Amino acid sequence: MSPPVKVIGALGSTFSHRVEAALCLKGVPYELIQEDLNNKSELLLTHNPVKKKVPVLLHGDQAICESLVIIEYVDEAFEGPPLLPIDPYDRAVARFWADFMDNKLLKPFWLAHWTEGEVQKGFAKEAMENLALLEVQLRGKRFFGGDTVGYIDIVFCCLAPWLSVIEEVTGMTVVDESEYPALRQWEKEYNSYEALKPCLPGRDQLVAYFTENKEKYKMYANAWAQQ
Amino acid sequence: MAGEKNKGLQLLDFWVSPFAQRCRIALAEKGLPYEPLEQDLSNKGELLLRANPVHGKVPVLLHGGRPICESLVILHYLDEAFPEAAPALLPSDPRARAHARFWADIADRKVFECGTRLWKLKDGEARARARGEMVEALRALDAELGDKPYLAGEAFGFADLAVVPFAAWFPGYARLGEFSLEEVCPRLAAWAERCGERESVARNMHLPEKVCEFIAYLKDKYGDK
């Protein structure tokens, strides 16, 4: 019998949600350990000494870090429906889009909401160009992978439960419904997907969290913008 | 016969790109023949822009004309599309695979990304942060290596393959960041030499001096003034 699975995660972290979503879809029971990111625990720092970040998957005596690494681990180490496609080329395409999310879209998308003035405009332009590529990918499909939520969908989760929350907290809209109808429809589909219900964050909780930490997130955003 | 061995592989390449280097080493490791196509990145051609419309970057692997972009994605693809081509780049055990992927990601997100900020940014808080993160990442790599011959353990593996092209960049980064490699990561030099004993790596390594020249060129052309 497989040793127990725990996730060191945090409310508010899209990366943490990715891991929970992967475990949910794979049908792997787990215990969630909520981390207070303002006061990082010994448990987190011991198991992720290099990056000191959530999420961390604990499986027996193994600690796996980095959300994309964890998702592939979950897919490979446990029985259950596959998260990534089976065909090598389709897998390469899926991994490409995951890389796109983290290395091309995430920064402008996030900073377009959390910064202001000319800086905000620059990030919004970049975000919208990148989002347009996703809009094309989604056209005619319910999810990026087809009829069911898969790897690419959970990788893009910051465009689902988080999107309307940060729009509300920051007062900024970048993903306009009229320009990105497929993306906004996908957002609704993701947020109401039955198999993800056990791990979807509560909207009110997320709003409260980001409202409480608004100044901190604005500060992080401005620092990130200068890099 | 060339036709029998031909796997229909082409690599859109650029000599100094450590990402393209990874792919060249991987193809050599697996004994997979390919057509190298050096790109002019200052004047990107149709082939590159069609193959990688999102980023316009190398490396791109073309397999029967179908593009695969991003070096680590390419490495995974080589294992999965050519399972008969030994050795496997990634180990078979999921935990070992996760370990390999984690350290490959450190090379991308910490070493290369911080290195880029080091030559690009003017002196100031942001640049100081980049320097700090770079030193931290190199210390972490050194600590992970420890007394092992390779990052993966007793044998050369995916993590070593992913990180080794950056070895030629370390001296340049150390110069820019004004830190000592001997002090920060004393074991990495020996590790790089050990990796360089493999033919696949030896044939695809660059001299640090050439990479330093290239970094100086990048700083001059694209650095913040």
**Among B71, B97, B119, which would you mutate to test the A interface (most chain A Cβ atoms within 10 Å of its Cβ)?**
B97
Same-domain check for residues B111 and B201: yes
Cα separation, A72 vs B102, in Å, equals 11
Buried b vs exposed e over A100-127: b needs ≥16 C-beta within 10 Å? Answer: bbbebbbbbbbbbbbbeeebbeebbebb
User: CB distance from A99 to chain B under 8 Å?
Assistant: yes
What are the structural domains of chain A? 5-77 (3.40.30.10), 88-226 (1.20.1050.10)
Quick: pLDDT tens for B52-61: 999 999 999 9
Same-domain check for residues B125 and B50: no
ipTM: 0.94
Contact A73 B95 (CB under 8 A): yes
**Count of CB pairs separated by less than 8 Å, A with B:** 70
Nearest CB partner across the interface for A100, out of B54, B68, B97? B54
Q: How far is A69 from chain B (nearest CA, A)?
A: 6
Q: Which domain holds residue B74?
A: 9-82
Centre a 10 Å sphere on the Cβ of residue B184 and count the other Cβ atoms it contains: 19
Asked whether the predicted pLDDT for residue B109 surpasses 90, the reply is: no
Centre a 10 Å sphere on the Cβ of residue B224 and count the other Cβ atoms it contains: 12
In which element (H, E) is residue A56 found?
Answer: strand A56-59
For position B51, which CATH number holds? 3.40.30.10
Q: How many structural domains compose chain B?
A: 2
User: CB distance from A96 to chain B under 8 Å?
Assistant: yes
pLDDT at A46: 93
In-domain check, residue B2? no
Cα separation, A21 vs A143, in Å, equals 15
User: CB distance from B120 to chain A under 8 Å?
Assistant: no
pLDDT at B3: 44
**Total-model pTM:** 0.95
| Degrees to nearest 5, angle at CA A70 with A66 and A72 | 125
Same-domain check for residues B212 and B125: yes
Contact indicator for A158, A14 with CB cutoff of 8 Å: yes
Contacts of B105 in chain A (CB under 8 A): 66, 68-69
In-domain check, residue B214? yes
Residue where a domain terminates, one of B32, B55, B82: B82
Residue B34 falls in which region: left (phi positive, over 0), alpha (psi -120 to 50) or beta:
beta
Quick: pLDDT tens for B118-138: 999 999 998 999 999 999 999
pLDDT at B4: 46
Residue A93's closest chain B neighbor by CA? B68
Contact A72 B98 (CB under 8 A): yes
CA-based nearest residue to B95, from A83, A2, A73: A73
Nearest CB partner across the interface for B102, out of A65, A77, A104? A65
Same-domain check for residues B108 and B151: yes
In-domain check, residue B166? yes
User: CB distance from A63 to chain B under 8 Å?
Assistant: no
Say whether B26 sits in a helix, a strand or coil: helix
Weakly modelled stretches of chain A, pLDDT under 70: 1
In which element (H, E) is residue A6 found?
Answer: strand A5-9
Residue where a domain terminates, one of B35, B58, B82: B82
Asked whether the predicted pLDDT for residue B1 surpasses 60, the reply is: no
Contacts of A49 in chain B (CB under 8 A): 140
Same-domain check for residues B17 and B60: yes
In-domain check, residue B136? yes
The token pair at A204 is: 């009110």
Cα separation, B196 vs B205, in Å, equals 8
Contacts of A72 in chain B (CB under 8 A): 97-98, 101
Same-domain check for residues B56 and B150: no
Three-state secondary structure of B100-124: HHHHHHHHHHHHHHHHHHHHHCCCC
